[in-house]
Structure 1
Amino acid sequence: MGFSNTIYNSIFKRTSTMALAIVASAFFFERTFDLATETFFDKYNEGKLWKHIKDKYE
């Protein structure tokens, strides 16, 4: 119960800190998800994208 009480008292007790925690976590989740999907897309399309083949045509 100690960890739950600590989280409640530090984040969820006041609406302003809860809103700030939600905004901050949404920002970090969005950034992480964006980087992960971009990396997956680049790996999946290796050799098909312009940044991979532009040396052949310049």
Structure 2
Amino acid sequence: MALAAGLYGALLRRTSGFALSVVLGALLFERGFDQAADGLFARLNQGKLWKHVKHKYETEEK
């Protein structure tokens, strides 16, 4: 109960604090979701992406 009261007092009591909490929460969620989706995509497509096969097709130019 003390945690909920502290959270309310720190973030949700004023409209500005609530708005800031919503914006920061959305930004953090978006960043985490994007990183997780990129990691999942790379894992599911292991060996099929350019970064995994480019050594087969690139030649050294002199």
TM-score (norm 2): 0.87
Match of 2:49 in 1: 49
- Say which one has the larger Rg: 2
Question: Whole-Å Cα distance in 2 between the matches of residues 46 and 4 of structure 1?
Answer: 44
Question: Number of residues paired by the alignment?
Answer: 58
Q: Percent sequence identity over matched residues? A: 47
Distance 1:36 1:2 in 2: 33
The CA deviation string for residues 1-58 of structure 1, in whole angstroms up to 9 with x for no partner, is 2222111111111000110011001101100000000000001000011111000000
Equivalent residues in 2 for 1:6-21 (5 A)? 6-21=6-21
Distance 2:43 2:14 in 1: 44
Q: So what's the TM-score if we normalise by structure 1?
A: 0.93
Could you say which structure has the higher helix fraction?
A: 1
Q: Which runs of 4+ in 1 moved over 2 A?
A: none
**Residue segments in structure 1 that go unaligned for 5+ positions in a row:** none
Q: Which runs of 5+ in 2 are unaligned?
A: none
